[in-house]
Chain A
Amino acid sequence: MTAETIIQSLASGLLMGLLYGLIAVGLALIFGLMDVVNFAHGEFLMLAMYVTFFLFTFFAIDPLLSAPLAAAALFVLGAAVYLLIVRFAMRAKANVGMVQIFATFGLAIVMRGLAQLLFTADYRSVPHSWLGGKTVSVAGIFLPQPQLFGALVAIAAFGGLYFFINRTDFGRALEATREDPGAVALVGIDKNRVFALGWGIGGALVGLAGAIMATFFYIYPDVGASFALIAYVTVALGGFGSVFGAFAGGIVVGLVEATTALVLPPSLKSVGIYAVYLLVVFVRPRGLFGSM
């Protein structure tokens, strides 16, 4: 094992980690807002990838340009899922958590079925794009452009989200609703609108991630499953509800995954991620940055 291999591993792991963070941050935002874990998150990602694929195939729009469109589409989907499903699931009087998990789990199955019905089970991909297959080489270390761009988008998205939550009126409304959904009604904030917006933003973020993923990943109805578990672990590792935690969690997951593959057979590389998660929560039961 040369120094170059190690540096390359860390670099790849870091880039992939930022992308994991971007995939997971929508989940973290929604959880932070209303304590709901969206089990259809992987299917949101799948849909964003299909949106990107079809815009490319039928209108020759490069994924870079269609990323905002994918984000917009997923914004609508996220808000709709809240208004049509989650809103009702939250009315449960007992075991709200499980009801939400299974309502969104059912939704995930429906989305996979619909994707197979409408888009067929064929494996798709975006064969040529501005970034796809291109790579930057610095001193023998290769940085693929799609992941590099994804990392930049992830950083920008986190910055934007931080600004949005802490510096805008709406962000403050979001924060207030999260603290006390009952009290905000008294000052004229419609709880449902805020939550729907939160789901919309969460969807838009995974929409961005999906558009970038489409430049270097394959697309089929079950593709979300590969990322869903990583996204949950990322969010929990960073601390549920902490947007910054998702960012940090993503980086940790990416780096741990890459380094585990250096010492263990690659088929066991997820074991490294899972072990680190367990270690972290055994020491800090609310993850790295969760409110204690």
Chain B
Amino acid sequence: MTITRRDLLLGATATAALMPLVARAQTSEVVIGATYPLSGSGAQVGVDAQRAFETAIDIINNDQEFDLPLAKGVGLPGLGGAKIRIVYADTQGDPQKGRAEAERLITQEKVCAILGSYQSAVAVTISQICERYQTPFMSADNSSPSLHRRGLKYYFRASPHDEMFSAGMFDFLDAMKKKGAKANTLALFHEDTIFGTDSANAQTKLANERGYKIVADIKYRANSPSLSAEVQQLKAANADVLMPSSYTTDGILLVKTMAELGYKPNAIVAQAAGFSEKALYDAVGDKLEGAITRGSFSLDLAAKRPMVGKINDLFKAKSGKDLNDNTSRQFMAMIIMADAINRAKSTDGEKIRDALAATEMSGEQTIMPWKRVKFDEMGQNNDADPVLLQYIGGKFVTIFPTQAAVADAVWPMK
């Protein structure tokens, strides 16, 4: 086992290299970890997330005139103006690697909290490691409902999960039906991953409870080379509402294939993911006039809350993109975590955990259409209301719920 000496050396060098950082962290720096896929098929989301976190850190570390926690003044006042530094780790979308990286961030980089992680499967192992090391983990963008139901003390999620999202979608459908819109039959189209399965399970349950008929339930293999067969089945079913749960790649192929096979759905109500990504609308936006997606974020909010537009500009300067479903949630996760650390006045995991549990942030102090941020005993924020957005004239407008809506839904889609 020739590794012996090599590893000894390596451990020694790594420790030596980290010593000054550790020392600094105690005085003027708070280190937060972020675990995302930074290479491989989810890399685009991970790279965008880096820009979202950087935007949040800019606002926290510098003096900014926003009504967000920590925007005014420099750094974290509770820790003597300490600044936040973020360390990224690449999970490559693999649970084992995510686990190893989380452990490395905690033990070597001395992070006091971790944000993550896009793929829900990776969040399972990261949150487990965080629990073992009593380090808070916040799901910025994982939407699997099972994540917070595992009895973990150090798990938090400020944004909605798939059941809340789906409930929002069905509330919207109920409202449309009341207005006389034709929305009785549904076609579910979902990928065979955790995201697709969770989404379809939640939707099936809600459809049965609320008296909708599912005329097609199509589970497909993510990143298939062809979706012709799947689209034919959708076309044959010809449901009133098509409900896709797909990432960008399959979303693009789905819409292109629908056009090629002459299938024009009556209405699309999507479970975000690919349907809130700019890349999808760049590719097939002309075929999606009137498509509806649930979302956790809406730029329309800028009219009521000007800070949303300004923060979007800050983000756009870094990434060249508008804030979307994912990046807005990542931004907020950083703000909420920093706020808790500030109130904990410590980088101790348990104290941060208690501060997170005591979080009470009003919706106005976020960039989201949420009522407030307050975690239940499982670490889930149940007051994060999803919105429904419709793609009209090249941009999204909020159409539901009524208090957030700026326009009426166009139904059926063009």
- State the A residues within 8 Å of B (CB): 1-2, 5, 8-9, 12-13, 16, 20, 112-113, 116, 120-125, 127, 132-133, 135, 137, 142, 144, 146-147, 216-218, 220-223, 225-227, 230, 257-258, 261-262, 265-270
Q: Does B232 contact A121, Cβ atoms closer than 8 Å?
A: no
Distance (whole angstroms) from the CB of B26 to the closest CB of chain A: 36
Contact A133 to B224, CB < 8 A, known contacts A5-B236, A218-B253, A222-B40 = no
Residues from chain A with a CB closer than 8 A to the CB of B39 are 112-113, 116, 121
Q: Does A270 contact B221, Cβ atoms closer than 8 Å?
A: yes
Q: Which residues 151-178 in B have Cβ within 8 Å of A in the complex?
A: none
Identify B279's interface contact among A122, A133, A265, A266, CB under 8 A: A122
Residues from chain B with a CB closer than 8 A to the CB of A269 are 221, 224, 229
Q: Does B47 contact A266, Cβ atoms closer than 8 Å?
A: no
Residues from chain B with a CB closer than 8 A to the CB of A142 are 260-262
Distance (whole angstroms) from the CB of B403 to the closest CB of chain A: 34
Q: Of B134-142, B281-289, B343-351, B386-394, which stretch is located at the interface?
A: B281-289
Q: Does A133 contact B259, Cβ atoms closer than 8 Å?
A: yes
Identify B225's interface contact among A112, A123, A230, CB under 8 A: A230
A258–B411 Cα gap in the complex (Å)?
33
12 contacts between A and B (CB under 8 A): A12-B232, A20-B225, A116-B39, A121-B46, A123-B277, A133-B259, A133-B260, A227-B225, A257-B226, A261-B230, A266-B230, A270-B221
A206–B2 Cα gap in the complex (Å)?
44
Identify B283's interface contact among A9, A123, A135, A267, CB under 8 A: A123
Identify B218's interface contact among A1, A2, A135, A266, CB under 8 A: A266
Q: Does A218 contact B228, Cβ atoms closer than 8 Å?
A: no
Q: Which residues 252-289 in B have Cβ within 8 Å of A in the complex?
A: 252-253, 256-257, 259-262, 277, 279-280, 282-287
Distance (whole angstroms) from the CB of B39 to the closest CB of chain A: 6
Q: Does B228 contact A16, Cβ atoms closer than 8 Å?
A: yes
Q: Does A16 contact B226, Cβ atoms closer than 8 Å?
A: yes
- Is B248 part of the binding interface, using a Cβ–Cβ cutoff of 8 Å? yes
Q: Does A267 contact B259, Cβ atoms closer than 8 Å?
A: no
Q: Does B261 contact A135, Cβ atoms closer than 8 Å?
A: yes
- Is B405 part of the binding interface, using a Cβ–Cβ cutoff of 8 Å? no
- Is B249 part of the binding interface, using a Cβ–Cβ cutoff of 8 Å? yes
Interface centre among B248, B249, B253, B285 (most CB of A within 10 A): B249
Residues from chain A with a CB closer than 8 A to the CB of B249 are 123, 218, 220, 223
Residues from chain A with a CB closer than 8 A to the CB of B252 are 123, 125, 217-218
Q: Does B41 contact A222, Cβ atoms closer than 8 Å?
A: yes
Q: Does B230 contact A127, Cβ atoms closer than 8 Å?
A: no
- Is B223 part of the binding interface, using a Cβ–Cβ cutoff of 8 Å? yes
- Is B322 part of the binding interface, using a Cβ–Cβ cutoff of 8 Å? no
Distance (whole angstroms) from the CB of B259 to the closest CB of chain A: 5
In the complex, besides A12-B261, A20-B225, A123-B277, 14 extra interface pairs with C-beta distance below 8 angstroms are A116-B39, A122-B279, A123-B280, A124-B279, A124-B283, A127-B285, A217-B253, A218-B253, A220-B41, A225-B41, A230-B225, A258-B228, A266-B230, A267-B219
